[in-house]
A and B are shown apart, each in its own frame.
Chain A
Amino acid sequence: MKDQVSERTPAGLSSVAGKASDGWYEKLYHMLLGNIPFSLLLVDRSLRVVSANRNFLVKGRRNAMDTIGAHIREVFPDAILEFTQLESKIRGVFESGLPLPGAQMTYRAPGIHTRIYYYSVIPVRLGVVVEHVMLVMDDITEKVQLIEKARMVERHLATVVESANDLVVSTDAKGCIISWSRSAERISGYQANEARGLMLAELCETAQREDMKAMIQRLVEGSAVQFQEIGLVARSGRLVPVDWSCSPILDDTDKVSGVVAVGRDLTERRAFEQHIFQSEKLAALGVMAGGIAHELRNPLAVSFSAAQFLSVTSDDPLFQQECVNKIIDGIQRSSLIIENRLRFARPAPGDRVGAVDLVVLAQETLSVLSPQARLQKIKVQEKYADSPVSVSGNTNLLQQVLMNLILNACQFMPNGGVVMVEVRREADVALIQVSDTGCGVSSANLRRVFDPFFTTQPVGKGTGLGLSICHTIVKQHGGEIELNSVEGQGSTFTVRLPHLQG
Chain B
Amino acid sequence: MTENLNVLVVDDEPDVCWVLDVLLRKHGFTVVTMSSGAAALRWLGDMESACSLILVDAKLGDIEGVELAKRIRTDTSCAASVILVSGYFYKDDSVVQDSLNAGIISAFVTKPFRHEEILGAIHAVLSTTLRNNYDS
> Which A residues have a C-beta under 8 Å from some C-beta of B?
290, 293-294, 296-306, 308-309, 326, 329-330, 374-375, 377
Report which of B19, B22, B62, B111 forms a contact with A377, defined as CB distance below 8 A: B62
Report the bound CA distance from A300 to B16 in whole Å: 10
Beyond contacts A301-B19, A305-B112, A326-B18: 11 other A-B pairs, Cβ-Cβ < 8 A, are A294-B88, A297-B88, A297-B111, A298-B13, A300-B111, A301-B16, A301-B111, A304-B112, A305-B113, A305-B115, A309-B22
Chain B residues whose C-beta falls within 8 Å of the C-beta of A302 in the assembled complex: 13, 15-16, 18-19
> What is the distance, in angstroms, from A477's C-beta to the closest C-beta of chain B?
36
Report the bound CA distance from A377 to B16 in whole Å: 20
> Which B residues have a C-beta under 8 Å from some C-beta of A?
13, 15-16, 18-19, 22-23, 59, 61-62, 86-88, 110-115
Q: 10 shortest A-B CB distances, which residue pairs?
A: A297-B87, A301-B112, A301-B111, A304-B112, A305-B19, A302-B15, A294-B88, A297-B111, A300-B112, A298-B13
Report the bound CA distance from A403 to B111 in whole Å: 28
Report the bound CA distance from A297 to B59 in whole Å: 12
Chain B residues whose C-beta falls within 8 Å of the C-beta of A308 in the assembled complex: 114-115
Report the bound CA distance from A55 to B52 in whole Å: 123
Chain B residues whose C-beta falls within 8 Å of the C-beta of A306 in the assembled complex: 19
> What is the distance, in angstroms, from B95's C-beta to the closest C-beta of chain A?
12
Q: Is A304 a contact of B113 with CB atoms below 8 Å?
A: yes
Chain B residues whose C-beta falls within 8 Å of the C-beta of A290 in the assembled complex: 88
Report the bound CA distance from A206 to B68 in whole Å: 64
Q: Is B87 a contact of A298 with CB atoms below 8 Å?
A: yes
Q: Using CB atoms, name the residue of chain B closest to A290.
A: B88
Report the bound CA distance from A299 to B13 in whole Å: 9
Q: Is B15 a contact of A330 with CB atoms below 8 Å?
A: yes
Q: Is B15 a contact of A294 with CB atoms below 8 Å?
A: no
Would A301 and B87 be within 8 Å (CB), given that A306-B19, A326-B15, A377-B62 are in contact? Answer: yes
Chain A residues whose C-beta falls within 8 Å of the C-beta of B59 in the assembled complex: 294, 374-375
Chain A residues whose C-beta falls within 8 Å of the C-beta of B62 in the assembled complex: 377
> What is the distance, in angstroms, from B36's C-beta to the closest C-beta of chain A?
12
Chain A residues whose C-beta falls within 8 Å of the C-beta of B110 in the assembled complex: 297
Report the bound CA distance from A377 to B36 in whole Å: 13
Report the bound CA distance from A309 to B22 in whole Å: 9
Chain A residues whose C-beta falls within 8 Å of the C-beta of B61 in the assembled complex: 374, 377
> What is the distance, in angstroms, from A300's C-beta to the closest C-beta of chain B?
5
Report the bound CA distance from A305 to B111 in whole Å: 10
Q: Is A296 a contact of B87 with CB atoms below 8 Å?
A: yes
Report the bound CA distance from A304 to B110 in whole Å: 13
Would A294 and B16 be within 8 Å (CB), given that A304-B113, A308-B114 are in contact? Answer: no
Q: Which of A297, A300, A304 has the most CB of B within 10 A?
A: A297
> What is the distance, in angstroms, from A419's C-beta to the closest C-beta of chain B?
16
> What is the distance, in angstroms, from A408's C-beta to the closest C-beta of chain B?
21
Report the bound CA distance from A252 to B110 in whole Å: 83
Q: Which of A302, A303, A330 has the most CB of B within 10 A?
A: A302
Chain A residues whose C-beta falls within 8 Å of the C-beta of B13 in the assembled complex: 298, 302
Chain A residues whose C-beta falls within 8 Å of the C-beta of B87 in the assembled complex: 293-294, 296-298, 300-301
Q: Is A301 a contact of B18 with CB atoms below 8 Å?
A: no
Would A299 and B15 be within 8 Å (CB), given that A290-B88, A309-B22, A374-B61 are in contact? Answer: yes
Chain B residues whose C-beta falls within 8 Å of the C-beta of A304 in the assembled complex: 112-114
Chain A residues whose C-beta falls within 8 Å of the C-beta of B18 in the assembled complex: 302, 326
> What is the distance, in angstroms, from B91's C-beta to the closest C-beta of chain A?
14
> What is the distance, in angstroms, from A378's C-beta to the closest C-beta of chain B?
11
> What is the distance, in angstroms, from B119's C-beta to the closest C-beta of chain A?
11
> What is the distance, in angstroms, from B68's C-beta to the closest C-beta of chain A?
13
Q: Using CB atoms, name the residue of chain B closest to A291.
A: B88
> What is the distance, in angstroms, from B76's C-beta to the closest C-beta of chain A?
22
Would A293 and B15 be within 8 Å (CB), given that A298-B111, A308-B114, A309-B22 are in contact? Answer: no
Chain A residues whose C-beta falls within 8 Å of the C-beta of B115 in the assembled complex: 305, 308
Report the bound CA distance from A300 to B19 in whole Å: 12
Report the bound CA distance from A377 to B63 in whole Å: 8
Chain B residues whose C-beta falls within 8 Å of the C-beta of A374 in the assembled complex: 59, 61
